[in-house]
Structure 1
Amino acid sequence: MTELRLLGAVEVRAGQTRFDAGQPRQRAVLAGLGVDAGRPVSLPTLIDRVWGHEPPAGARQSLHAHITRLRRVLTGAGAGTIVFESGSYRLTLDAGRVDLHVFRDLAERARAAGHDDQRVALLRRAVALWRGTPLGGLGGEWVEQVRSEMDRHLISAVVALAQAELRLDRPEAALATAERLAGEHPLVEPLAAIRMRALAAAHRPADALHHYDDIRQRLAGELGVDPSRELQDLHRAILRGAGQRPVAVLSPASAAPAQLPTDVAGFAGRTAALARLDAVLAGAAAGASATIAVVSGTPGVGKTTLAVHWAHTAVRHFPDGQLYVNLRGYDESGPVAAAEALAGLLETLGVRAGDRPAGLDAQSALLRGVTAGRRLLVVLDNARDAGQVRPLLPAAPGTMVVVTSRDQLTDLVISHAAEPVDLGLLPDGEARELLRRRIGAARVDAEVHAVDRIIESCARLPLALAITAARAARTGFPLRSLAAELRRPGDPLETFELGDPSGRLRGVFATSYVAISASAQRLFRQLSRHPGPDLSAEAAAGLGALEVIAARRVLAELVRAGMLAEPHPGRYAFHDLLRAYAARLHRDSDAPAERDAVTVRMLDHYAYTAQRVDRLLQPLRPALDVPLGPPAAHVRPEPISGAAEATAWLDAESAVLVAVVHTAVAGHGRYAYQLAWLLDHCLHRRGQWLERSAVWRAALTAAEGTDDPVALAGSHCGVAHVSLQLGRYAEADAHFTRALELYVADGNRRGQGAVEYLLAGLWGRRHEYRRALAHAGRARSHHEHTGHRAGLANVLNQIGWYRAQLGEHAEALESCREALGLQQEMNERAGQADTWDSIGFVHHQLGRSAEAAECFGQAIALFRELGDRYAESESWIHLGDSHRDAGDPGAAHAAWTEAYDILDELGHPDAQTLVDRLGVRH
């Protein structure tokens, strides 16, 4: 059976055969996918796992190459493949064939086993899977995090195995199990405790006492601490000779508190978050010091619901009780003081008021003492900040604390190694399941499209979905009626203002809004003007008229407060309902002039940054024919200094820029044309024809409302060019004709040359190559007249291409070589790539397969360097065709595979044109 091994060196095996997974970086890619086998891993997450938070400029291209090579390895091993879908990669190998997942499954089954014999058998199989250091041979922050987590799981499994062996009266086996990790983890106290018990049970109390002295000295010397309460009690028990088989010290006799609120009916989803909490529970079960999980997220995302639901599923693991405190961090009346909450906990645990010492620190120490030796679950709900929580934390091994807060409580994560469990919006499937459980499966399944619209209108926010579900259940109205109600014009929050005031969305959001600083409130309101799915700190700084460092501080405050999300490092977003709340505040609190100033600053930021990017990527492109005006105060373009940074910025901002163009149409039409012109090459390079068409149509709408003939002609030309790419030839011809008329009327020969060049492309697409050559000849004349050398070089390449189509190979090569010479003189790499592809095509037609392959290779290398993935795929297709015609089907298949992988990754429909050539794929 084929398997992926991660619990040791990363390797792929089929039986006794080991398949080479490549050099360390490539194995890191495989590990980054293997830990989530069968589940999608987003592109930014995978890059972060492999290269860390500051990846090199070429990380994305390197990743593509690693993925391509890994696909070949996996296919050869029969181990599934790697597919790209919706911006994420997924390893299709079943998790049951990855040792890491098999280990986790066995450990979980062991925890649920009813008998120790079964538990021992399962845990022995789990522990036997370890071949050495997990992800051996790899390094980096993410690798170390995974390695540390897996070490904790191994310790937990080994301790549980030894405990089960002791209960089965097998002290020697328990001792051998505990000693497996003793040398590697000499300071892990649960391991020391189980080893002491095993030694005493094996009639070796002196060795048990000696082991205690050894760990006591190590703890003092290396960490400056004393042994835990459990080890000290065990040491005293052995000294007293309390039986040959000492057991854990019993907890104080008292009734176990059970304070959890009622579990929420109809709970659905949150699979990943529940699994994270289960993993924290495993650490607590292993006997580690008190384990903490911090459940955070935006208002209304269901933090308390999740914590209480999970706590009810875990009560059997905490026989000494479950404590619950609502800290009311965002109540209008103010949060519960830590001293008040602490007094309530001590009272629940049987400490009378007269027995409590004075002072918060002393009472907190008493709490730690009272909980020592107990297995407790403590839920601290709705915390305001880390300071409110710290005095309430027990320190006993086996105790677990779940804290919920709108704040991320980063201080607690740092100071107490708390496990962050950040709740996002519900995925569509989980949102649908929530409605099924609240409304009834029959109603939801009967109105699928209405449910889709409800989920979208509720922004996948659990509180909004719950409010809507309650209304549906109470009224019995058809779901399509409720969906229409949610989508009616106006403030979307109004629909959620019915019912219990404590559940109204606006009020829930308001309690968080009033708790943040005035500068955070101001930026929160202003961000509602931003139309894109997310934005950078630099864009927020421009929009808010802030220095970047100040903007970062304010954004961090908003993220901590749950008013913004940070879906990717340095990118910020909020869901549609919070955006609507921010927009309402912006309308109510800020004057119209200020609102418009925010929009202008945003447009300036993107226009000036896009202009800088365009000059870096296309230094020979003519200057923007409708120049930008002076930027608004406090607006500066982002500090992008090279082609790699420019490409990365376009990749990150393309969706934002498209949305910004549409925003500019209403009242700021000049920006719409300027941004469309600056964005055009990026969308063309990425093969995003529909987005490109929408952008140019928006620019045309804006230009028609102005008296600027250049913007109007340029917009017609842009619409025509995209229509040409989409095969809408009649529409393209009409817009080209109108653009040419406007340029002629304006006496703009450079514009005329651009249109003639594109008209040549139109007739070339129609295979009317003589007519195409006539337009190309006129374009050449215009460019020679204006001295536009880059445009001249492009049209010479175009003339060569059409000569080749007509079988005029000598003339074609002459024209293309003249173009290449000009482009090399100017160091115009994009043009060189196009021309190398044309020359390769001529050699292909002449049957010169070696020369064709060399030329296509030059084109591919340049397109890859430029990040022009779509053009690169075209050259791979041409190379494959050349190999096929030369009688080399293997090389042809390899080239077409490269093209398919690129087009599939881009989500481009042209990928399907290769399916017949390649046969069955993925």
Structure 2
Amino acid sequence: MTGVPEFVVPRQLPLAVRDFTGRADHVAALDALLSGNGPDSVSDAVVISALDGAAGIGKTSLAVHWAHLVQDRFPDGTLHVNLRGYGPGDPAGPGEVLDGFLLALGTPPGDLPQGIEAQAGLYRSLLARRRILIVLDNANSADQVRPLLPASPGCMAIVTSRDSLTGLVVTESATRITLDLLSFGEALQLVTGIIGAERAAAEPVAVAELIRLCARLPLALRIAASRVGADGRTTVTDVVSELLDDRDRIDALSTAGDDRAAVRAVFDSSYQRLTAEQASLFRRLGLHPGPDLSLHAAMALGGLDVRNARRLLGGLASAHLLEPSAGNRYRFHDLLRAYALEQATVVDSAEDRDDALKALLDWYVHTAHACDVVLFSGHLRLLSPAAMPVPKPPFDDQGGAMAWIEAERFNCLAALRHAATNGLHQVVISLAEGLRFLLLLGRHDEWLESGLAGLDSARKTGDDAAEIRLLLITSEAFTLLNRWVEALPDLERAMALSIELGDEYNQASVLNGVGLTHNEREDFDKAVTSFSEALRMIPKGVRMEGVIEGNLGLAYAGLRQYRLAFAHCERGLALRRRVGDLTGEVGAMNAFAKLLQDIGDHGKAIEMCRTAIARARAIRAPLSIAHPSYTLATSLHETGKVREAIECWTEAAVLFARYGNEQRAAQARERIKEATSPAASSARSAIDSTSRYS
């Protein structure tokens, strides 16, 4: 059993800046902070450095440069994240960042905790007694950073921000290091390093003018000089002339302290060298609401095929207007994202922008529903595969679908939030219905968020049929979050609407939800009545029929009518298998194992649980692991395999706690406590003695 993730050594630093220039005093200040953190000694406190300064001043370059210099002094790894603190779109939330760090530290994707407190707890546990360097880039506040700070001596965090982060200095004893503009000498050295000494010597006046126009701002200098260095036909004078031609650019580059304007002007000079196709895609990419984007998302935004999308994205990356990352994914620097969106607003009509966004949102909607088809086979759905737009989903099996949802989860949620903010109600409804895959990741809070957003849109549009479906989603999410009382009003409203519309399928779904509340209250007679009525109404051969059969079996088990319980659970399991409902099959096997326990057949129960756990691991469904692990532990304990039982209860407790089911986690911990108590040990010793001498 695997209750704790295997620790790996992450090395997440971006590429070091080859021609990093200057900042000797700042490098020395960072070195001084590390004096107690070397390989032969461990600091008695966490070291936190806050690098602050204006946009484009070189905070990231310094942090990454220095981190590369010292990362060998952190043998357990280096973590890095861009917190997206400034720019359009939402900053990176602590949950998103902690998910990424936990994955980097070896936590399986399906085992990621739910909730900031649980995420931060596991994160700090994994950092304990290790020496790790954490680079938290582009923060917008101390609050954004605090959950990401280590708590263990030997670790160091570098935080970069446009904000002074005084809160970290006061409450976390962070050392503040402020960056200012480069000196003229440092700026000259930077430009010369990029374009070459020979070309710099050939145009000394132009080089000096370039430095002046770029306000000695490192990012502006680097982009402008790179235009010269990348093309032997372009002179420094050419670039300077282009900067002088546009009054807005001149004003931006010469306004003291307006560093963002300086960067925008330099982006202009790079942007105007793009081909028409590249520029069009660049602008459209700025419309994307999520933290990064895939090749396929770019295809949807640009209306492109694979070949042209790769070509244009490669051109943008070569021009340093887009940053490529692993897995055919791309992202913008914050300022570049703002610039691309600004250009889209200026150049493209509102109709063109709306069409591009519609294509992107449609792609997320239909691809999410394609995931639903693969991962929840047999589930009744509304979207037809014939309606699938180009590009087609980048997967054709369950493994590919799981990889897609792990990569696109945040983008799907960002798309839904964007649609909700902009009143795109049909998109919100459709996307909310397509995010059922959040259940496989244990993200019940996000499932509830999406359902509530969809429900709001359904009500605003007066779509009663959609409202029923969304009420079923919210009631299910409330149930999974152990908020049963809040689920009941949604079930009542859904039933009233279903009766009004004559919708027997959803009436059956509501009755199933009502039956679950009766089961939870151990009112099994009423549960049997609800499930039996639901089973009578549900169409044959759909996934929900198997769900109801299994739930009816459990209700009969509560009444100790085991013949009927086994019959219904067997039918439920068979139906789940028939429609290819893999997660449902795991749940049905766990239910069947519990029935076997009830009649004392622990051998078969153990066999059934082991099979269920293996299936759950294969499909990376963490909560589907937790339930049969708990059930398996019970049978193992009953058959004298106490040590293995404790391992299973431990894994179940960890998983239940991570995904918000504290009640079940507490039950598992209580069973561990009972199994390890002195009385239990004495009883086992007595049994061992009897066995030994009998």
Give TM class, smaller chain: 0.5 to 0.7
- TM-score scaled by length of structure 2: 0.63
Distance 1:905 1:721, change over 3 A: closer
Q: In the alignment, which of 619, 631, 634 is matched to residue 878 of structure 1?
A: 631
8 Å CA contact retained: 2:110, 2:622:
no
Among residues 517, 523, 527, which one is paired with 2:281 in the alignment? 523
- Equivalent-residue separation in structure 2 for 1:735 and 1:717 (angstroms): 7
Equivalent residue number for residue 572 of structure 1: 330
Partner of 2:519: 764
Answer yes or no: is the 8 Å Cα contact 2:613–2:625 preserved in 1.
Answer: yes
Q: CA deviation at 1:531?
A: 1.8
Counterpart selection for 1:326 from 186, 191, 209: 191
- Partner Cα separation in structure 1 for residue 414 and residue 495 of structure 2: 29
Alignment partner of 1:823 out of 566, 576, 590: 576
CA contact (8 A) 2:518 2:524 kept: yes
One-letter code aligned to 2:479: L
Amino acid at match of 1:778: E
CA contact (8 A) 1:328 1:383 kept: no
Note the 1:312-323 alignment, pairs <5 A: none
Secondary structure (helix, strand or coil) at the match of 1:638 reads: coil
Q: Match of 1:669, as an amino acid?
A: H
Q: Give the Cα–Cα distance (whole angstroms) in 1 for the partners of residues 598 and 367 of structure 2.
A: 43
Q: TM-score scaled by structure 1?
A: 0.48
1:659 paired to 2:414: yes
Native 8 Å contact 1:696 1:718 kept in 2:
yes
Percent identical pairs in the alignment equals 24
What is the CA distance between 1:95 and its match in structure 2? Answer: 5.0
CA 1:849–1:669 in structure 2 vs 1: closer, same or farther (change >3 Å)? same
Match of 2:647 in 1: 894
What amino acid is aligned across from residue 646 of structure 1 in structure 2? A
SS in 2 for 1:705: helix
For 2:614, give the aligned amino acid. Answer: A
1:5–1:65: structure 2 CA closer, same or farther, 3 Å change rule?
closer
Please report how far the alpha carbon of residue 647 of structure 1 lies from its aligned counterpart in structure 2 after TM superposition: 1.0
Structure 1 segment 508-587 matched on structure 2, within 5 A = 508-516=263-271, 517=274, 518-587=276-345
Aligned equivalents of 2:651 and 2:662: distance in 1?
15
Instruction: Look up the match of 2:435.
Output: 679
Partners of 2:302 and 2:253 in 1: CA distance: 34
3-state SS of paired residue (1:686): coil
Which letter does structure 2 place at the counterpart of 1:341? A
Alignment partner of 2:587: what SS? helix
Superposed displacement of residue 737, structure 1? 1.3
Instruction: Please state how far the C-alpha of 1:840 moved relative to its aligned partner.
Output: 0.7
Is there any run of 5+ residues in structure 1 with no aligned partner, and where?
7-32, 44-59, 69-82, 102-267, 272-301, 313-321, 330-335, 346-379, 392-495
Asked if 1:813 corresponds to 2:566, the answer is yes
Aligned counterparts of 2:563 and 2:490: Cα–Cα separation in 1: 35
Structure 1 pair 650/384, CA: closer, same or farther in 2 (3 Å)?
A: same
**Tell me, what secondary structure is at the counterpart of 2:270?**
coil
CA distance in 1, matches of 2:550, 2:619: 19
Q: Quick check: which has more Rg, 1 or 2?
A: 1
1:641 maps onto 2:396 in alignment: yes
Q: Which amino acid aligns with 1:548?
A: V
Is the contact between residue 468 and residue 498 of structure 2 (CA under 8 Å) also seen in structure 1?
yes
Q: What is the deviation of 1:532?
A: 1.7
| C-alpha deviation, 1:605, in angstroms | 0.9
1:827–1:637 distance in 2 versus 1, CA, 3 Å: closer
Q: 1:772 to 1:499 in 2, by over 3 A?
A: farther
Partner of 2:478: 723
Give the conservation status (yes or no) of the 8 Å contact 1:41–1:90: no
Letter in 2 for 1:703: A
| Deviation (angstroms), 1:724 | 1.9
Query: What amino acid is the match of 2:560?
Result: G
Q: What pairs with 1:603-642 in structure 2 (closer than 5 Å)?
A: 603-624=361-382, 630=387, 635-642=390-397
Question: Paired residue for 1:699, among 450, 454, 458?
Answer: 454
1: distance between equivalents of 2:451 and 2:639?
Answer: 42
Equivalent residues of 1:673, 1:711 under 8 A apart:
yes
**In structure 2, what is the Cα distance between the partners aligned to 1:817 and 1:778?**
19
Match of 1:866 among 609, 619, 632: 619
**Preserved contact between residue 37 and residue 93 of structure 1 (Cα < 8 Å):** no
- Whether the 8 Å CA contact 2:364–2:412 is kept in 1: the answer is yes
Q: Deviations over 1:456-502 (max 9, x none)?
A: xxxxxxxxxxxxxxxxxxxxxxxxxxxxxxxxxxxxxxxx9899347
String of CA shifts for 1:809-828, please: whole Å, max 9, x gaps. 23211221222233344444
In structure 1, C-alpha distance between the alignment counterparts of 2:358 and 2:109, rounded to whole Å:
43
Q: What is the distance in 2 between the residues matched to 1:683 and 1:736? A: 21
Aligned to 1:855: 608
Deviation at 1:764, TM superposition (A): 1.8
SS of alignment partner, residue 867 of structure 1: coil
Q: Which residue identity lines up with residue 476 of structure 2 in the other structure?
A: H
* Residue identity in the other structure for 1:324: Q
User: What per-residue deviation string (whole Å, max 9, x for no partner) do you get for residues 115-148 of structure 1?
Assistant: xxxxxxxxxxxxxxxxxxxxxxxxxxxxxxxxxx
Judged with a 3 Å threshold, the aligned counterparts in structure 2 of structure 1 residues 389 and 514 are, in CA distance, closer, same or farther, namely closer
**1:851, distance to aligned residue in structure 2 (A):** 1.8
Aligned to 1:485: none
2:443 is equivalent to residue 688 of structure 1: yes
Query: Partner of 1:619: helix, strand, or coil?
Result: coil
Are the counterparts in 1 of residues 323 and 330 from structure 2 also a CA contact under 8 Å? yes
Task: Tell whether the 8 Å contact from 2:379 to 2:542 is kept in structure 1 after alignment.
Answer: no
Deviation of the 1:718 alpha carbon: 1.3
User: 1:687–1:908: 8 Å Cα contact kept in structure 2?
Assistant: no
State the secondary structure of the residue aligned to 2:189: strand
Note if contact 2:290-2:411 (Cα within 8 Å) is conserved in structure 1.
yes
CA distance in 2, matches of 1:789, 1:66: 30
Q: Residues 896 and 35 from structure 1, CA distance in 2 versus in 1: closer, same or farther, beyond 3 angstroms?
A: farther
After superposition, the C-alpha distances for 1:377-418 in whole angstroms (9 at most, x for unaligned) are: xxx966744982899xxxxxxxxxxxxxxxxxxxxxxxxxxx
| Correspondent of 1:802 among 545, 549, 555 | 555
Q: 1:715, 1:629 → 2: CA distance?
A: 24
Judging changes above 3 Å, is the alpha-carbon distance between structure 1 residues 810 and 544 closer, same or farther for their aligned structure 2 residues?
Answer: same
1:779 maps to a residue whose letter is A
The secondary structure found in structure 1 opposite 2:515 is helix
What CA deviation, in whole Å up to 9, does each residue of 1:41-63 have, x standing for no partner? Answer: 699xxxxxxxxxxxxxxxx99x7
Amino acid in structure 1 at the alignment position of 2:527: A
Q: Quick check: 1:870–1:902 contact (8 Å CA) kept in 2?
A: yes
1:649–1:35 CA distance, 2 compared to 1 (3 A) = farther
Task: Look up the match of 2:496.
Answer: 741
- Per the alignment, do residues 85 and 777 of structure 1 end up closer, same or farther by CA in structure 2, a change over 3 Å counting? same
Change (3 A) 1:612 1:770: same
Q: Give the 3 Å change call, closer, same or farther, for CA 704–510 of structure 1 in structure 2.
A: farther
Are the counterparts in 2 of residues 669 and 702 from structure 1 also a CA contact under 8 Å?
Answer: yes
Q: How far, CA to CA, are the matches of 1:721 and 1:67 in structure 2?
A: 20
- What displacement does 1:702 show? 0.9
| Aligned twin of 1:341 | 200
- Report the alpha carbon displacement of residue 735 of structure 1 after superposing the two structures with TM: 1.0
Structure 1 residues 527 and 66: CA distance shift in structure 2, 3 A: closer
Q: Give the root-mean-square deviation of aligned CA atoms.
A: 4.4
Which stretches in structure 2 are left out of the alignment for 5+ residues?
1-6, 10-70, 82-102, 112-118, 134-156, 161-176, 205-220, 233-250, 674-694
- Once residues 671 and 403 of structure 2 are traced to their aligned partners in structure 1, the CA distance between those partners, rounded to angstroms, is 33
Tell me how far apart the structure 1 counterparts of residues 401 and 8 of structure 2 sit (CA, whole Å).
39
Partner of 1:836 in structure 2? 589
Count of aligned pairs between the two proteins: 500
Amino acid at match of 1:679: L
Alpha-carbon distance in structure 2 between the residues aligned to 1:646 and 1:5: 25
- Residues 674-725 of structure 1 show CA distances to partners (whole Å, capped at 9, x for unaligned) of 2211212x11121111111110111011111224321121112211221222
Among 378, 383, 388, the alignment partner of 2:229 is 388
Q: What secondary structure sits across from 1:572 in the alignment?
A: strand
Letter in 2 for 1:690: D
The within-5 A match list for 1:250-649 is 269=158, 324-327=189-192, 339-342=198-201, 384-385=225-226, 388=229, 500-501=255-256, 503-516=258-271, 517=274, 518-624=276-382, 630=387, 635-649=390-404
Asked if the contact 1:38–1:90 (Cα under 8 Å) also holds between the matched residues in 2, the reply is no
Q: CA offset at residue 638 of structure 1?
A: 2.3
Look up the SS of the partner of 2:461 in the other structure.
Answer: coil
